[in-house]
């Protein structure tokens, strides 16, 4: 499956050059000259990487980077003529994965994209709609980084790793480090309820976590 690249670049010649080059390397490309339109697209579509210019109309590229990071862990490469060290530091502090000063050969951009995508593949494990990075203790749903407490993260990770297996409340309490061995059933149920709220799931019509009456829960997504 082709990787989907979002290019945010208002220089028409640069945008055309990079888009054509990326397509030639078998990437799917959606390019935007206006960051507001790009942000709207990213929020509603599956994307694998963003190439972001800094000098943009409507808002500065750093603000765009910050807005993307508020909702997603999608890789970001800043592609900018602003090559000062301070700009690079700011970019990385805001969550950029790489910073490529202009001018550069498009081939170098391809190499950096492939390096990031390889690293993402190694670090992240995909289970259904969820993407897991255990090194960072992060779980994403459809590219949106979920905001979990430590115990919520550990419970969902346990359910994901035991997909389609029924886990009793007792086994959850025993397996999750952040829970006490003798945690009450209602404590487990409270955490499951919080997880469901954060992933948009409901007990009556579950998409991901199914209640097994009298026993516990299982992941079905």
Q: What is the CA radius of gyration of the chain?
A: 21
What whole-number distance in Å separates Cα of residue 69 and Cα of residue 220?
Answer: 29
94 and 183 belong to one structural domain: no
pLDDT at 125: 81
| Helix, strand, coil percent content, the chain, rounded in steps of 5 | 45, 20, 35
Q: In this structure, what CATH number is given to the domain that contains residue 73?
A: 3.40.50.2300
What are 10's two structure tokens? 């208002």
94 and 141 belong to one structural domain: no
146 and 100 belong to one structural domain: no
| pLDDT tens for the chain, residues 1 to 221 | 689 999 999 889 999 999 999 999 999 999 999 999 999 999 888 889 999 999 898 899 999 999 998 888 899 999 988 878 888 999 999 999 999 998 889 999 999 999 998 887 666 688 888 989 887 788 999 878 899 999 999 999 999 999 889 999 999 988 888 887 667 788 999 999 999 999 999 888 999 999 999 899 999 97
Q: Which residue, of 123, 139, 168, is where some domain finishes?
A: 123
Q: What is the pTM of this model?
A: 0.58
Q: In this structure, what CATH number is given to the domain that contains residue 152?
A: 1.10.10.10
Domain membership of residue 92 as a residue range: 4-123
CA distances to 8, 183, 201 from 215, in Å: 50, 15, 19
151 and 190 belong to one structural domain: yes
Q: Which residue, of 123, 147, 167, is where some domain finishes?
A: 123
pLDDT at 26: 92
pLDDT at 41: 93
């Amino acid at each position: 499956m082709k990787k989907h690249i979002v290019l945010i670049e208002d220089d028409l010649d640069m945008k055309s050059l990079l888009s054509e080059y990326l397509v030639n390397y078998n990437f799917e490309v959606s390019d935007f000259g206006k960051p507001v339109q790009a942000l709207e697209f990213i929020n509603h579509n599956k994307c694998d990487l963003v190439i972001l210019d800094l000098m943009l109309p409507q808002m500065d590229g750093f603000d765009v980077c910050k807005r993307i990071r508020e909702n997603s862990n999608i890789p970001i490469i800043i592609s900018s003529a602003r090559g000062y060290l301070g700009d690079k530091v700011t970019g990385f502090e805001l969550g950029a994965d790489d910073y490529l000063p202009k001018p550069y050969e498009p081939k170098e951009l391809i190499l950096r994209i492939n390096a990031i995508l390889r690293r993402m593949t190694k670090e992240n494990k995909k289970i259904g709609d969820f993407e897991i990075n255990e090194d960072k203790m992060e779980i994403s749903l459809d590219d949106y980084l979920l905001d979990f407490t430590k115990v919520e993260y550990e419970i969902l990770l346990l359910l994901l790793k035991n997909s389609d297996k029924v886990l009793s409340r007792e086994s959850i309490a025993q397996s999750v480090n952040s829970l006490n061995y003798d945690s009450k059933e209602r404590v487990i149920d409270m955490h499951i309820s919080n997880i469901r709220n954060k992933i948009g799931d409901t007990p009556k019509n579950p998409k991901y976590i199914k209640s097994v009456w009298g026993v516990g829960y299982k992941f079905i997504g």
